[in-house]
A = this chain, B = another copy of it.
């Protein structure tokens, strides 16, 4: 992509309404634009990141056997009256009437809808276990939306729902989802702690929240230091071992009951980005979803639900990955892999940059080429602000010497690389 035509409305000034760093940086980097309180448009750069995050979440849900569906944005009040949650949900649920005065609502979650689908089509235990997921927009009418996409009203969520024949199978599914979540966050480049959680309005008796460690986190997390080792070896680690470790957020942590002391207990700030629940037969019972067993009797399946805040994650990733100059994207979610910066405005530099741009794109490296007629200061600060992992810098002097400078955004390390080996060098760096 060439920056001269790309829509990247970066801001020099820090927007006054933004109180947290991810919100400030997303506005300054031209990733989002607020439409009204808690409702944002995703501009091209922001949408690229959102889709990268979404795709990693999707791949891991698929890998664990989740089947992707897409449920309606608008749900009927009847279904929520049937489950008994319609009146209790309160003002966070956005309600409306259609032209025939039927009550609708913008779905804040989908336990009712998925259980309704289940009961229509699935009648036998042989079809179990089943796990469905969707990645779709939700609306929760927060009283004070804030922190940009971290606490918006309209937000993108991955919500999964599982159906099992008995408790043991349900706990196995829960474990599999725990592993899937840990793997997902690892791929997103995040240090995440699963803490024991309250089950709240969803109900049930087994629940974990997932907190991204970031200095700006809203809650305090207390956890066994072994997490820091396990997290890096998630593919080899027994999930039961992880679930057995101590980890609590402030509302659940009681110092007098904590088995760990001193060095063994770590403390950090955390941002909640996921929440998983095993809630048994709460919805299957009340909505009368039944399967027939081999012996002819029928039971309500054991259920769980599993959320990841996909749009919120974009903010959380920035909270955990930034410096004074701007964002530092983990490679897995970077909107482009390379910022190509041409300096000096000479025809020769432009020609060589153009060739580098094409050669890199040809081998599948995504490049944002800053071909604007701006000075080095503006180009460097734009590149640092939007945080692409690698910068390739070429000016008239480098061109004369046949060298481009490569800067790693995260470490600040710089290397001079001969132009003729630039493509293979970048390919190596990126694999």
Contacts and interface: CB of A to CB of B under 8 A. Distances in A.
Interface of A: 5-7, 9, 30, 33, 35-36, 39-44, 47, 50, 65, 67-76, 91-92, 94-96, 98-99, 102, 104, 106, 113, 116-117, 120-122, 127, 130, 132, 137, 139, 141, 143, 153-154
A47 B7 CA distance: 30
Interface centre among A41, A47, A127 (most CB of B within 10 A): A41
Contacts of A92: 99
B98 A70 contact: no
A47 to B, nearest CB: 5
26 contacts: A7-B127, A33-B121, A35-B75, A36-B76, A36-B102, A36-B104, A39-B72, A39-B74, A40-B72, A41-B69, A41-B71, A41-B113, A42-B69, A42-B70, A43-B69, A44-B67, A44-B68, A44-B69, A47-B69, A47-B70, A50-B70, A73-B154, A74-B94, A74-B106, A94-B96, A95-B96
A91 B99 contact: yes
Given A41-B71, A67-B44, A137-B137, A120 B33 contact: yes
Contacts of A116: 35
Q: Which 5 pairs show the lowest CB-CB distances between chains A and B? A: A96-B96, A9-B121, A42-B70, A91-B99, A39-B72
A34 to B, nearest CB: 10
Nearest to A48: B68
A7 B132 contact: yes
A141 B35 contact: no
Contact of A117 (B41, B47, B67, B91): B41
A162 to B, nearest CB: 13
Nearest to A7: B67
Contacts of A33: 117, 120-121
A43 B71 CA distance: 8
A154 B35 contact: no
Interface centre among A9, A33, A120, A154 (most CB of B within 10 A): A33
Contacts of A73: 73, 137, 139, 154
A395 to B, nearest CB: 24
A364 to B, nearest CB: 16
B72 A143 contact: no
A71 B35 contact: yes
Nearest to A71: B41
Given A139-B74, A154-B74, A35 B68 contact: no
A141 B47 contact: no
Contacts of A137: 73, 137
A72 B138 CA distance: 11
Contacts of A117: 33, 41, 43
B41 A72 contact: yes
Nearest to A43: B69
Contact of A7 (B30, B35, B70, B130): B130
Interface centre among A73, A74, A132, A143 (most CB of B within 10 A): A74
A6 B67 contact: yes
Contacts of A50: 70
A15 to B, nearest CB: 12
